């Protein structure tokens, strides 16, 4: 069935091998990093560092699931997201098991849920750590732990898409499309919303009339075409806005904002934009 959508939509298809690989890799990440995270947070009492560590613990699990799922040709973001969240919970559980082992100097090391829960309750009464002479216990400590788990799961959720990437998939050739950078040297788009509307109503002059940007231009536009090398039947356009700014330290920074992602093109328009891009 030919879709009439303006943008690429994933088919939602999965395959047992891809899901298994994502699951195994994610589980390896969750168990290994759960161990590393537990010992790092136990032995390095720098709260800001731990905060970043908490986020990246989750991020690494989510990224692994997204990346391996994509390598395994899984075209279902929701399945990968749910897999990653499940493994995030596994990671948190492993971190608890190892944290208890670290805190008891290896004396207690149990994967049993009721034993772990018993220790959590004991630690909540005693307090786990102190900051500025204050040792949170009871309800306060539980709230901190819930916040910690939430940061980890937030890391997981934000990372899955980053790991997956945003390339479209060709269902007939069974492959991801390869992106091709056309140019980064087009003048910045002043009105992205208006531009998007023009493109969606197939007025491609909105793109082709963009003038070339000077080498010192602060705002530029990056144009990418994605095409299936197998059947030459699937074509998409992705456009980013590149903005240069100077930060408070006087350093030059470049930020990217997506204006158009995987916008569907017919073969003729694809060829036209490809030819147009040759002037840059």
Binding interface with Zn ion (CB under 5 A): 170, 173, 228, 230-231
Q: What are phi and psi for residue 134, nearest 5 degrees?
A: -110, 130
Q: Residue 18 in contact with residue 66, Cβ under 8 Å?
A: no
CB of 178 to Zn ion, least distance (A): 11
Our CB check for Zn ion shows the closer of 120 and 170 to be: 170
CB of 171 to Zn ion, least distance (A): 8
Number of H helices, E strands in the chain: 8, 6
CB of 176 to Zn ion, least distance (A): 10
Our CB check for Zn ion shows the closer of 59 and 236 to be: 236
- Residues in CB range of 45: below 8 A, 6 or more apart: 129
Alpha-carbon span 88 to 86, nearest angstrom: 5
In the chain the first and final C-alpha atoms are separated, in Å, by 37
Distance (Å) of CA 91 to CA 38, 70, 95: 10, 21, 6
Our CB check for Zn ion shows the closer of 197 and 229 to be: 229
Our CB check for Zn ion shows the closer of 21 and 228 to be: 228
CB of 232 to Zn ion, least distance (A): 7
Integer-rounded Cα Rg, in Å, for the chain is 24
Alpha-carbon span 33 to 36, nearest angstrom: 5
Our CB check for Zn ion shows the closer of 175 and 187 to be: 175
Query: What is the length of the chain?
Result: 280
Our CB check for Zn ion shows the closer of 50 and 234 to be: 234
Candidates 204, 264, 276, 261; CA nearest to 234 is 264
Q: Residue 36 in contact with residue 61, Cβ under 8 Å?
A: no
CB of 228 to Zn ion, least distance (A): 3
Helix (H) or strand (E) holding 110: none
Our CB check for Zn ion shows the closer of 42 and 169 to be: 169
CB of 231 to Zn ion, least distance (A): 3
CB of 230 to Zn ion, least distance (A): 4
């Amino acid at each position: 069935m030919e879709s009439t959508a303006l943008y690429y939509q994933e088919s939602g298809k999965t395959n047992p091998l891809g899901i298994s690989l994502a699951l195994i890799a994610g589980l390896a990440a969750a168990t290994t990093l759960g161990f590393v995270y537990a010992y790092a947070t136990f032995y390095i009492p720098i709260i800001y560092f731990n905060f970043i560590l908490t986020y990246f613990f989750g991020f690494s699990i989510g990224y692994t699931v997204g990346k391996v799922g994509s390598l395994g040709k899984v075209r279902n973001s929701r399945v990968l997201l749910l897999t990653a969240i499940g493994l995030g919970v596994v990671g948190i559980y492993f971190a608890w098991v190892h944290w208890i082992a670290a805190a008891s100097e290896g004396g207690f090391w149990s994967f049993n849920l009721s034993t772990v829960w018993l220790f959590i309750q004991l630690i909540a009464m005693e307090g786990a750590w102190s900051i500025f002479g204050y040792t949170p216990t009871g309800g306060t400590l539980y709230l901190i732990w819930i916040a910690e788990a939430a940061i980890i799961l937030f890391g997981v959720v934000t990372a899955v898409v980053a790991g997956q990437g945003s390339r479209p998939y060709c269902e007939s050739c069974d492959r991801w499309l390869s992106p091709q950078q056309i140019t980064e040297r087009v003048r910045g788009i002043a009105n992205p919303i208006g531009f998007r509307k023009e493109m969606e109503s197939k007025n491609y002059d909105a793109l082709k009339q963009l003038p070339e940007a000077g080498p010192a231009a602060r705002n530029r536009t990056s144009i990418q075409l994605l095409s299936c090398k197998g059947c030459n039947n699937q074509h998409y356009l992705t456009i980013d806005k590149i903005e240069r700014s100077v930060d408070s330290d006087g350093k030059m920074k470049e930020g990217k904002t997506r204006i158009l992602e995987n916008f569907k093109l017919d073969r003729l328009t694809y060829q036209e934009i490809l030819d147009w891009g040759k002037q840059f």
